[in-house]
């Protein structure tokens, strides 16, 4: 990386997840943070403001349960913040960026047959009004935000025979879920009753397998799904060549171990538009676009098919989550296990 | 148990610490919500600092046969009480403590790994000179890093326009913990500064003097008081506090403060310069002498005054010259021309301090530590060696006894007295487990006696050394908190004797139901190559998920743990759960699980059947009236292999055969040969025998299922025999 500025900000609580909020002006940028305080066993959502390499606290709301996944919609004025919880509920908030305040909108409570136990993953559709949630109970629900309230419908229930770990929209009617055994499932709402396509890793030899922790799909290549999980594994699954995943990183894979930036769980993957913005068209259709990962062994890195990974951070503790700003992909924010935030600026 | 006789709703727990006189008793109310009288309490440790209290009501009275039980008959409640450790230390709050704990991990781990590689290189011990020197370097680096960690609060930016009346410059707020660490560093680690320990102590006191202000009179508090007064004073030189503040500051070597105050003297003012020329000359002469004070140290800190000398002879020469200049000024005739009495007397006192007048030094200082420093500066600048320092300290303490000694004083006396036990006891009592675990490195590096003491294994400590004991204790503290338990392994693995055992305990205690913690534990096992523990944890997780209905996760983790035995066990349960659904629509749900099981490569135990069954089902689904015979043949092959397979549960035999009726009755041609048909008939026979057993579970099929299968098989056999 030509030039990288890193600023670390210690917090007094564990950070479960964090995201950039849409940028309001060139000088002000907000972060939404889901935190957990073990002393008081309370969880909260916080809005922080970053400007001039300083991070200031703006507002906070106590929330009923710990957050497992946090996503935002990109409406610039009043972005929606949707969070899934340990207890099996889904919470919806909106942020007022001018005042830096948070407002509760609605929630789908647990105990209504929504999810039993942890909701492991959620995603917000492009238009910002539909959410898909997957849980360890093996349920998949679609939640719609219409007329100021939330309503949900069950898409699938495996009755615990399968647990899902992550989910990502591919199109307004399709999404991909992932979970145990490096498995991925492609769902199409037009063909209900089960996944339309399934993928199961077969590169793992011996007895170990892994879990998919995070999925990303690039809007320009909706047929390809990027997944990251255990043992530093990152791979792309192209619907058009279903049986041959494109391996990007992982310790269990021959020829790839040397190129793998991490040996332990990859907690989050996101396509990295920063490196591609200049030579975007030069990347051939068959190549996987560059992606950023963060890992349990403290690595934040950009990986590209067949190339040496570019390490942005190597921390002594885990990097639990990160987010690349959509409007300004040079800005990255990530949360460190040891109760702090790092903000990175590439130039 | 006393205190349990009350019939109130809520009990309170009252932990009483041994020194409850100094620490207030903390009360944790228990909201257990039981209405009936409490009969029994059971208390155990839950995770971390949490106590699990099980509250049992009186057993229901059986003679009240009217069934008036209030719905909780016999049922107790379990409440968890989180014990806060806020009572520990007010200086550092919990979040700051954790930050220190996180920050010290890397330096500690680095030092340990360096110790390993060095001792491997030197084969035996670190005492060989080249290695010893290298080891010193590492310990110094370690010490500096830890020290910087303790002062991570950035000092407020110094204002560019200096306030001439700002006497006390409050830089970063000092911390006892850091002050103690610095003391250890000065005396045990920093060998290069051995020759200028007095000057380092002076710097140390300048940084940390305010720490003592709470309990003792100090020069710092005196200066702070004077600073407040200064704003309202017009003619400072007439204020006795002005002269007292300066003599105190000079006594402990805060030269820049003294010079700054001297420059506030009225004779410097333009309107008075002419009339007070001599007086001003004297003030300036003293200021210049202070400027030129020789100091035996390699360099000065920013802002500090004086002239540095690196070697003893150079310093001695300069020192004598300087003293001669002071004496000369003391005897000067200009004093008689100075009309201002306070100035004359005040300056004379400053001169006496610089000349090392013991009674004046004693008047100018407020506690023995300050007196001790002033003696270093002006009376015995060549004091070296801990013994002579210790003697001097004892003398100073006699002339300025303290009623309630500060915890840092105890530490200093232990260090000066070369008494490792006292140093350890003071560190432990005042600064707690973190200090003990990390400071041991400094002590063992700096003193042979301490090294022997700390590394010797004690049978009454269970065979561990004191060094290991303190690491274990610190690891326990870390383990007791949800956010720090994951750094405890770093300390535990540095404990040769008992570390791994405790690490196992720690890992087994983590709640497996929380997947993040489970993955963390597995990761820790991977890092330290604890494969057995890893499998055990995964097995526990698998059983937990299984019990809670998350069958997929259960199977996954049992597979990861390679626990064939349990996989076979759960296979039986799984088939029970499957029941009839093996042949109905609900099979869609099973597809995901079967995917997960994978094919040959991994342990599937008895679940292997599912995989084969799925293949059979797929081929069977493709078969209908107008399918080409090949597809039907494949389905028949799958059926035979399924029935041959010993892992296929008996209870599925009949449903499988019943599902395959259309294959048995295939019109176009025969799909099963004689031996295959006989195999199936044998299975059917076996099944009929099994039906006689009492534990046989009848498949939920039409009543004529058995007979229609039997008929189909018989017909098939007949056809096959004819054909062959």
Contacts of B519 in chain A (CB under 8 A): 211, 230, 265, 296
Best mutation target among A16, A137, A162, A207 (most B Cβ atoms within 10 Å) is A162
Indicate whether B290 pLDDT > 90: yes
**Least trusted range by pLDDT, from B3-17, B160-174, B219-233, B460-474:** B3-17
**Higher-pLDDT residue of B29, B601:** B29
Highest mean pLDDT among A205-219, A272-286, B45-59, B350-364 belongs to B350-364
**Helix, strand, coil distribution of chain B in percent, nearest 5:** 60, 5, 35
Mean pLDDT of B631-639: 83
Q: Return the percentage of chain B with pLDDT > 70, whole number.
A: 85
**Least trusted range by pLDDT, from A85-89, A260-264, B450-454:** B450-454
Residue B458 banded pLDDT, cuts 50, 70, 90: confident
pTM of the model: 0.85
What is the token pair recorded at B483?
């956010």
* Residues paired with A291 in a beta bridge: A271, A303
| Placement of tokens 């029970």 in the chain | B576
What is the token pair recorded at B376?
């270093």
Q: How far apart are CA B425 and CA A277, in angstroms?
A: 62
Indicate whether B160 pLDDT > 70: no
Question: For position A25, what pLDDT does the model report?
Answer: 79
Question: For position A186, what pLDDT does the model report?
Answer: 94
Q: How far apart are CA A103 and CA A92, in angstroms?
A: 9
Distance of residue A184 Cα from the nearest chain B Cα, in angstroms: 10
Q: In sequence order, what DSSP letters do the residues of B192-241 get, joined into one string?
A: GGGGGHHHHHHHHHHHHHHHHTTTS--HHHHHHHHHHHHTT-S-GGG-HH
Q: How far apart are CA A116 and CA A129, in angstroms?
A: 23
Highest mean pLDDT among A280-284, B64-68, B163-167, B266-270 belongs to B266-270
**Higher-pLDDT residue of A346, A275:** A346
Residue A278 banded pLDDT, cuts 50, 70, 90: low
Q: How far apart are CA A203 and CA A249, in angstroms?
A: 12
Q: B102, A136: Cβ pair inside 8 Å?
A: no
What is the token pair recorded at B79?
């409440």
Mean pLDDT of B557-584: 74
Mean pLDDT of B616-633: 74
| Placement of tokens 């400590």 in the chain | B461
Indicate whether B123 pLDDT > 50: yes
Indicate whether A222 pLDDT > 80: yes
**Higher-pLDDT residue of B600, B141:** B141
What is the token pair recorded at B36?
């009936």
Q: B523, A296: Cβ pair inside 8 Å?
A: yes
Mean pLDDT of B288-293: 92
Q: How far apart are CA B288 and CA B182, in angstroms?
A: 32
Q: B591, A194: Cβ pair inside 8 Å?
A: yes
Contacts of A12 in chain B (CB under 8 A): 95
Whether residue B544 lies within 8 A of chain A, CB to CB, comes out as no
Spatial strand order in the sheet of A197-199: A164-169, A174-179, A184-188, A197-199
Question: For position A273, what pLDDT does the model report?
Answer: 86
Q: Which residues of B314-345 are buried (b: 16+ CB within 10 A; e: fewer)?
A: ebeebbeebeeebeebeeeeebeebebeebbe
Indicate whether A277 pLDDT > 60: no
Question: For position B23, what pLDDT does the model report?
Answer: 56
Question: For position B42, what pLDDT does the model report?
Answer: 86
Contacts of A202 in chain B (CB under 8 A): 598-599, 601
**Least trusted range by pLDDT, from A17-26, A302-311, B378-387, B612-621:** B612-621
What is the token pair recorded at A186?
């492609």
Contacts of B545 in chain A (CB under 8 A): 163
**Higher-pLDDT residue of B41, B161:** B41
Question: For position B217, what pLDDT does the model report?
Answer: 84
Mean pLDDT of B639-660: 82
**Higher-pLDDT residue of B7, B110:** B110
Question: For position B5, what pLDDT does the model report?
Answer: 40
Partner residue facing B483 (CB), from A193, A204, A339: A339
**Higher-pLDDT residue of A201, B222:** B222
**For every residue of B647-680, which 3-state class applies, written as one string?**
CCCHHHHHHHHHHCHHHHCCCCCCCCCHHHHHHH
**Least trusted range by pLDDT, from B406-410, B637-641, B662-666:** B662-666
Whether residue B618 lies within 8 A of chain A, CB to CB, comes out as no
Question: For position B12, what pLDDT does the model report?
Answer: 59
Mean pLDDT of B533-551: 92
Q: How far apart are CA B235 and CA B416, in angstroms?
A: 44
Q: B596, A180: Cβ pair inside 8 Å?
A: yes
Q: B519, A265: Cβ pair inside 8 Å?
A: yes
Q: A234-263: per-residue pLDDT in tens?
A: 999 998 887 788 889 888 666 666 678 998
Count of other CB atoms within 10 angstroms of residue B557 = 28
Question: For position B125, what pLDDT does the model report?
Answer: 61
Instruction: Give the Å distances, CA to CA, from B697 to B126, B301, B685, B687.
Output: 73, 89, 16, 11
Question: For position B152, what pLDDT does the model report?
Answer: 56
- Chain A residue with the nearest C-alpha to that of B487: A317
Q: A207, B560: Cβ pair inside 8 Å?
A: yes
Partner residue facing A161 (CB), from B482, B592, B603: B592
Indicate whether B68 pLDDT > 50: no
Q: A158, B84: Cβ pair inside 8 Å?
A: no
Backbone angles phi, psi at A139, to 5 degrees: -100, 150
Contacts of A163 in chain B (CB under 8 A): 545, 550, 552-553, 556
Question: For position B670, what pLDDT does the model report?
Answer: 78
Q: B19-67: per-residue pLDDT in tens?
A: 555 556 677 777 777 777 788 888 887 766 778 888 888 776 655 444 4
Residues A140/A134, Cβ–Cβ less than 8 Å? yes
Whether residue B15 lies within 8 A of chain A, CB to CB, comes out as no
Q: A175-221: per-residue pLDDT in tens?
A: 999 998 888 999 999 998 888 988 887 766 555 688 999 999 999 88
Question: For position B103, what pLDDT does the model report?
Answer: 94
Indicate whether B560 pLDDT > 80: yes
Residue B436 banded pLDDT, cuts 50, 70, 90: very high
Indicate whether B415 pLDDT > 70: yes
Q: Beta strands A340-346 and A331-336: pairing type? A: antiparallel
Contacts of A194 in chain B (CB under 8 A): 588, 591
Q: A321-334: per-residue pLDDT in tens?
A: 999 998 889 999 99
Residue B598 banded pLDDT, cuts 50, 70, 90: low
Q: How far apart are CA B543 and CA B550, in angstroms?
A: 10
Whether residue B553 lies within 8 A of chain A, CB to CB, comes out as yes
Average pLDDT in chain A: 89
If you count residue pairs, one on A and one on B, with CB atoms under 8 Å apart, how many are there? 115
Average pLDDT in chain B: 82
Question: For position A61, what pLDDT does the model report?
Answer: 95
Residue B319 banded pLDDT, cuts 50, 70, 90: very high
**Residue B308 CA to chain centroid, in angstroms?**
42
Which residues, 6 or more positions from B20, have their beta carbon under 8 angstroms from its beta carbon? none
| Placement of tokens 């299968």 in the chain | B709
Question: For position B37, what pLDDT does the model report?
Answer: 79
| Placement of tokens 């000179």 in the chain | B129
**Higher-pLDDT residue of B6, A307:** A307
Residue B599 banded pLDDT, cuts 50, 70, 90: low
Q: A1-51: per-residue pLDDT in tens?
A: 568 999 999 999 999 999 999 987 777 889 999 999 987 889 999 999 998
């Amino acid at each position: 990386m030509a030039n990288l500025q890193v600023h670390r900000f210690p917090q007094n609580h564990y950070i479960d997840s964090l995201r950039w909020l849409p940028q309001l002006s060139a000088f002000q940028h907000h972060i939404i943070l889901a935190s957990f305080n073990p002393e008081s066993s309370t969880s909260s959502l916080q809005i922080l403001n970053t400007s001039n390499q300083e991070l200031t606290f703006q507002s906070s709301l106590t929330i009923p349960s710990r957050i497992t996944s946090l996503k935002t919609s990109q409406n610039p004025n009043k972005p929606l913040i949707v969070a899934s919880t340990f207890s099996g509920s889904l919470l919806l908030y909106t942020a007022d960026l001018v005042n830096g305040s948070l407002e509760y909108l609605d929630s789908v409570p647990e105990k209504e047959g929504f999810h039993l136990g942890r909701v492991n993953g959620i995603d917000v559709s492009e238009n910002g009004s539909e959410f898909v949630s997957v849980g360890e109970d093996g349920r998949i629900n679609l939640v719609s935000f219409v007329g100021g309230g939330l309503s949900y419908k069950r898409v699938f229930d495996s009755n615990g025979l399968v647990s899902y770990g992550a989910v990502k929209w591919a199109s307004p009617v399709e999404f991909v879920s992932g979970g145990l055994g490096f498995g991925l499932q492609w769902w199409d709402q037009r063909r209900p009753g089960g996944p339309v396509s399934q993928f199961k890793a077969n590169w793992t030899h011996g007895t170990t397998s892994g879990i998919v922790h995070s999925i990303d799909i690039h809007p320009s290549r909706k047929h390809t799904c990027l997944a990251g999980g255990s043992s530093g594994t990152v791979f792309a699954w192209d619907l058009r060549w279903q049986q041959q995943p494109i391996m990007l990183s992982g310790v269990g894979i021959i020829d790839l171990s040397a190129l793998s930036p991490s040996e332990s769980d990859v907690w989050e993957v996101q396509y990295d538009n920063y490196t591609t913005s200049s030579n975007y068209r030069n990347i051939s259709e068959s190549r996987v676009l560059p992606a950023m990962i963060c890992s349990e062994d403290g690595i934040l890195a950009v990986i590209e098919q067949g190339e040496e990974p570019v390490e942005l951070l190597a921390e002594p503790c885990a990097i639990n989550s990160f987010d690349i700003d959509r409007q300004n992909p040079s800005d990255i924010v990530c949360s460190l296990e040891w109760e702090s935030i790092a903000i990175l600026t590439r130039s | 148990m006393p205190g349990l006789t009350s019939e109130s709703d809520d009990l309170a727990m009252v932990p009483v610490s041994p020194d409850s006189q100094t620490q207030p008793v903390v009360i944790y109310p228990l909201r257990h919500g039981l209405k009936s009288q409490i009969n029994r309490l059971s208390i155990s440790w839950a995770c971390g600092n949490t106590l699990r209290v099980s509250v049992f009501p009186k057993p229901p009275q059986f003679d009240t046969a009217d069934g008036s039980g209030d719905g909780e008959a016999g049922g107790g409640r379990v409440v968890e009480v989180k014990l806060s450790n806020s009572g520990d230390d007010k200086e550092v709050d919990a979040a700051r403590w954790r930050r220190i704990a996180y920050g010290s991990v890397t330096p500690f781990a680095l030092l340990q790994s360096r110790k390993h590689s060095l001792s491997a290189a030197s084969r035996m011990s670190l005492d060989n000179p080249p290695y010893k020197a290298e080891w010193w370097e590492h310990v110094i680096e370690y010490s500096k890093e830890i020290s910087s960690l303790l002062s991570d609060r950035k000092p407020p930016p110094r204002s560019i326009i200096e306030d001439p009346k700002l006497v006390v410059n409050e830089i970063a707020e000092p911390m006892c913990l850091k002050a103690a660490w610095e003391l250890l560093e000065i005396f045990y680690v920093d060998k290069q500064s051995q020759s200028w320990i007095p000057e380092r102590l002076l710097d140390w006191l300048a940084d940390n003097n305010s720490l003592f202000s709470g309990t003792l009179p100090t020069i710092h508090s005196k200066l702070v008081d004077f600073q407040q007064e200064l704003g309202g004073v017009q003619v400072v030189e007439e204020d006795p506090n002005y002269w007292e503040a300066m003599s105190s500051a000079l006594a402990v070597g805060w030269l820049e403060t003294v010079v700054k105050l001297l420059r506030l003297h009225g004779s410097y003012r333009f309107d008075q310069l002419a009339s007070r020329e001599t007086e001003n000359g004297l003030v300036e002469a003293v200021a210049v002498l202070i400027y030129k004070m020789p100091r035996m140290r390699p360099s000065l800190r920013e802002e500090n005054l004086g002239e540095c000398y690196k070697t003893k002879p150079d310093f001695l020469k300069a020192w004598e010259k300087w003293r001669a200049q002071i004496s000369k000024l003391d005897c000067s005739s200009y004093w008689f021309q100075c009309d201002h009495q306070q100035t004359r007397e005040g300056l004379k006192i400053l001169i006496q301090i610089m000349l090392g007048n013991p009674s004046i030094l004693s008047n100018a200082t407020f506690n023995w530590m300050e007196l001790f420093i002033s003696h270093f500066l002006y009376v015995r600048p060549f004091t070296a060696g801990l013994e002579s320092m210790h003697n001097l300290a004892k003398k100073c303490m006699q002339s300025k006894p303290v009623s309630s000694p500060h915890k840092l004083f105890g530490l200093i006396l232990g260090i000066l007295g070369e008494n490792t036990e006292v140093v350890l006891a003071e560190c432990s009592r005042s600064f707690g487990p973190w200090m003990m675990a990390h400071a041991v490195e400094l002590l063992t590096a700096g003193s042979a006696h301490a090294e022997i003491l700390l590394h010797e294994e004690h049978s009454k400590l269970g065979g561990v050394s004191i060094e290991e004991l303190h690491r274990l204790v610190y690891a326990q503290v870390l383990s007791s908190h949800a956010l720090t338990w994951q750094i405890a392994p770093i300390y535990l693995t540095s404990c040769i004797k008992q570390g791994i055992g405790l690490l196992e305990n720690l890992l087994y205690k983590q709640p497996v139901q929380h997947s993040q913690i489970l993955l963390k534990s597995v990761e820790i096992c991977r890092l330290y190559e604890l494969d057995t523990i890893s499998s055990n944890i995964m097995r526990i997780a698998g059983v937990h998920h299984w019990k809670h209905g998350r069958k997929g996760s259960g199977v996954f983790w049992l597979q990861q743990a390679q626990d064939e035995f349990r996989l076979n066990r759960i296979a039986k349960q799984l088939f029970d759960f499957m029941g009839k659904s093996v042949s109905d629509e609900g099979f869609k749900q099973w597809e995901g699980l079967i995917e997960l099981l994978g094919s040959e490569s991994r342990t599937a135990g008895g679940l292997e059947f599912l995989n084969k069954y799925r293949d059979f089902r797929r081929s069977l689904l493709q078969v209908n009236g107008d399918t080409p015979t090949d597809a039907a043949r494949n389905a028949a092959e799958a059926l035979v292999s399924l029935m041959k397979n010993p892992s296929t549960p008996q209870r599925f035999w009949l449903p499988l055969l019943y599902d395959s009726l259309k294959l048995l009755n295939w019109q176009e041609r025969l799909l099963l040969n004689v031996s295959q048909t006989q195999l199936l008939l044998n299975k059917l026979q076996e099944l009929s025998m099994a039906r006689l057993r009492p534990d046989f579970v009848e498949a939920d099929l039409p009543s004529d299922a058995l007979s229609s299968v039997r008929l189909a098989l018989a017909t098939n056999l007949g056809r096959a025999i004819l054909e062959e």
